[in-house]
Structure 1
């Protein structure tokens, strides 16, 4: 007699998305973002977009401006760029929870979606500078806590370095 697979057979440590599927590290779907751990998602999503098509990533980084001419007059290159930007928007939208999607649903280009998410979760340039300064202070004053294992200490240290990296300030380990 075959047993039916239920959600109770899924270990509790694995996150479940609103669709009921476990969020995984599969190359055929983008990393899921529910509003938590933006720096982690941003890094994974950037690599996912590069993996799918590096030109999509370039449009996310550089932006896409739709030609001002009638669409019937667009060149083949214009159509390819429009398609790549639409793919970028779609890939990012597919990675978002409903709550996160609602924050960017009116965006028209992949770059606009990306920068809206950045501003929402990292803050403005001034907020980023404040976060960087606070993390630099944590970095410079870093020390092992009493009774802390080396593994836990290294994890705390790596988290500080990774958060700084996500905000554009890099340190080599």
Structure 2
């Protein structure tokens, strides 16, 4: 998928995660302030706009998938969760990336010709 095709405003939903409308909870003397989720009736137009953006990004990501990958992300509730699932599936975790580099280095260091290969075939394989 080409991320350049997605509006930069929507990319924030992928990288920063979903927007959750929050409000300040009632503060009791002696307790610290904390934030709680807003109820639907308390949403401002900006809140609704951000929620709609997340839904659009989820739709874009869902639309670009084949059936196999769709089954993997069916339980994801936000665009951020879908994106993280993509990253693990196609790029792997940090440990997997490190193992891939190690294997590729070993293959490079032990590169050699096979018995019935021509120089062109060796070069192409290299």
| TM-score clears 0.5 | yes
Structure with bigger RCO (C-alpha 8 Å, 6+ apart): 2
More strand per residue: 2
Question: Residue 95 of structure 1 corresponds to which residue in structure 2?
Answer: 64
SS of the equivalent of 1:147 reads helix
Q: Which runs of 5+ in 1 are unaligned?
A: 1-40, 157-173
Report the count of equivalent residues. Answer: 104
Once superposed, which parts of structure 1, at least 4 consecutive aligned residues long, lie more than 4 Å away?
Answer: 138-141
1: distance between equivalents of 2:81 and 2:8? 18
Q: What does 1:47-126 align with in structure 2 at a 5 Å threshold? A: 47-49=4-6, 53-67=7-21, 68-126=37-95
Sort the Cα spacing of 1:84 and 1:138 in 2 relative to 1 into closer, same or farther, 3 A. farther
Between Structure 1 and Structure 2, whose CA radius of gyration is higher? 2
| Per-residue deviation, 1:79 | 1.3
| Per-residue deviation, 1:71 | 1.6
1: distance between equivalents of 2:64 and 2:45? 29
Q: Which runs of 5+ in 2 are unaligned?
A: 22-36, 114-118
TM-score by length of structure 1 reads 0.51
Question: Residue 147 of structure 1 corresponds to which residue in structure 2?
Answer: 120
TM-score by length of structure 2 reads 0.68
Question: Residue 25 of structure 2 corresponds to which residue in structure 1?
Answer: none
